[in-house]
Structure 1
Amino acid sequence: MFLNTFGAVTLASFLACLVTSIGIYTISAHEQWGNRNVIYFMSFAAGVLISVSFIHIIPKSIEMTSQAPIYLLVGFMGLYIINRFVSRFVCRETDCRNISIGVIPMVGIGLHSFIDGVIYSVTFNVSIFTGVLAAIGMVLHEFPEGVVTFLLLEQAGFPRKKAAVMAFLAAALTTPLGTLISFPVINQINQRSLGNLLGLSAGALVYVGATHLLPAVENEKKQHSMISLGAGILIAILIVISKG
Structure 2
Amino acid sequence: MDSPVTVALALSLVGGFSTSIGALFVIVNPAPNLKMLGLLQGFAAGLMLSISFFDLAHNALNSLGFLKGNLWFFAGVLFFGVIASFIPEPSLAPTSNTKSRKKNGDEESKDGMKKHRRQVLFSGIVTAVGISLHNFPEGMAVFLGSMKGLRVGLNLALAIALHNIPEGVAVALPVYFATESKWQAFKLASLSGFAEPLGVIIVAYLFPSSLNPEILEGLLGSVGGVMAFLTLHEMLPLAFDYAGQKQSVKAVFLGMAFVSASLYFLSICLPEDLSL
Q: TM-score range by the shorter chain?
A: 0.7 to 0.9
**Which residue identity is paired with 1:49?**
M
Asked if residue 76 in structure 1 is aligned to residue 83 in structure 2, the reply is: no
The match for 2:140 among 118, 121, 129 is 118
**What is the CA distance between 1:16 and its match in structure 2?**
0.7
CA separation in 1, counterparts of 2:130 and 2:143?
21
Q: Is the 8 A contact 1:98 1:153 kept in 2?
A: yes
CA separation in 2, counterparts of 1:122 and 1:189?
12
Instruction: Go from structure 1 to structure 2 and tell me whether the alpha carbon gap of 1:141 and 1:238 turns closer, same or farther (over 3 Å shift).
Output: same
CA separation in 2, counterparts of 1:149 and 1:229?
16
**Which residue identity is paired with 1:41?**
L
Count of aligned residue pairs for this structure pair: 237
**Which residue identity is paired with 1:81?**
V
CA separation in 2, counterparts of 1:20 and 1:230?
21
**Deviation by residue 1:12-35 (Cα, 9 ceiling, x = unmatched):** 211111211101121123133576
Q: Is the 8 A contact 1:79 1:104 kept in 2?
A: no
Gaps of 5+ in 1: none
Q: Is the 8 A contact 2:120 2:238 kept in 1?
A: no
**What is the CA distance between 1:36 and its match in structure 2?**
5.9
Greater CA drift, 111-120 or 182-191 = 182-191
Structure showing the higher helix proportion among its residues: 1
**Which residue identity is paired with 2:59?**
K
CA separation in 2, counterparts of 1:34 and 1:113?
28
Q: Is the 8 A contact 1:106 1:149 kept in 2?
A: yes
**What is the CA distance between 1:136 and its match in structure 2?**
5.0
**What is the CA distance between 1:160 and its match in structure 2?**
3.9
Give RMSD over aligned pairs.
3.1
Q: Is the 8 A contact 1:98 1:157 kept in 2?
A: no
Gaps of 5+ in 2: 92-114, 268-276
CA separation in 2, counterparts of 1:226 and 1:153?
22
User: Alignment partner of 1:32: what SS?
Assistant: coil
Instruction: Go from structure 1 to structure 2 and tell me whether the alpha carbon gap of 1:203 and 1:139 turns closer, same or farther (over 3 Å shift).
Output: farther
Q: Is the 8 A contact 2:121 2:178 kept in 1?
A: yes
Q: Which residue of 2 aligns with 1:180?
A: 201
User: Alignment partner of 2:31: what SS?
Assistant: helix
**Deviation by residue 1:177-232 (Cα, 9 ceiling, x = unmatched):** 22123223562423123212211221222123222221111112447444433321
Instruction: Go from structure 1 to structure 2 and tell me whether the alpha carbon gap of 1:201 and 1:34 turns closer, same or farther (over 3 Å shift).
Output: farther
CA separation in 2, counterparts of 1:217 and 1:99?
13
**What is the CA distance between 1:62 and its match in structure 2?**
2.8
The match for 1:164 among 181, 186, 209 is 186
Q: Is the 8 A contact 2:36 2:243 kept in 1?
A: no
Q: Which residue of 1 aligns with 2:252?
A: 229
CA separation in 2, counterparts of 1:206 and 1:137?
23
Calculate the TM-score normalised by the size of structure 2. Answer: 0.72
The aligned runs of 1:3-42 (5 Å cut-off) are 3=3, 5-33=4-32, 37-42=36-41
CA separation in 1, counterparts of 2:154 and 2:148?
11
Calculate the TM-score normalised by the size of structure 1. Answer: 0.80
Percent of pairs with identical residues: 21
Q: Is the 8 A contact 1:79 1:108 kept in 2?
A: no
